[in-house]
Amino acid sequence: MSELTQQSCEACRAGTPTVSESEKLTLKKEVPDWEIVEIDGEEQLHKVFKLKNFAQAQAFTNKVADLAEAEDHHPAILLEYGKVTVSWWTHSIGGLHKNDFVMAAKTDAAFNDMP
């Protein structure tokens, strides 16, 4: 399990720098199954999770939402039958912060705890 799961998000506001290229490479190693994608000029961490049915997908979505609320850092979540797509990025800075990698690791841990 990633050490990132033991960390908490730090407060960010406009002007907080995004992660550097070297930080991004280091942090990405902790969440290797996540893709870094660019949408509307902003880098995001993106991953699709496969589940057995809608009820499991909904339960996982709720777990991610609870994690997000606890850390006050919120993703984009797309809930579909047997599939949940999660995207993390820091809206206030228009890109990736360490917080996004922390939350990606916590999302993976929540998925691994699914029955």
Q: Identify the structural domains of the chain with CATH numbers, from first to last.
A: 20-112 (3.30.1360.20)
Residue 100 has pLDDT above 80, yes or no: yes
pLDDT in tens, 74-93: 999 999 999 999 999 999 99
pLDDT in tens, 10-59: 888 888 999 999 999 999 999 999 999 999 999 999 999 999 999 999 99
State the pLDDT at residue 9.
92
Residue 1 has pLDDT above 60, yes or no: no
The whole-model pTM stands at 0.95
The single-letter DSSP state of residue 35 is: E
What does the block give as tokens for 13?
């506001």
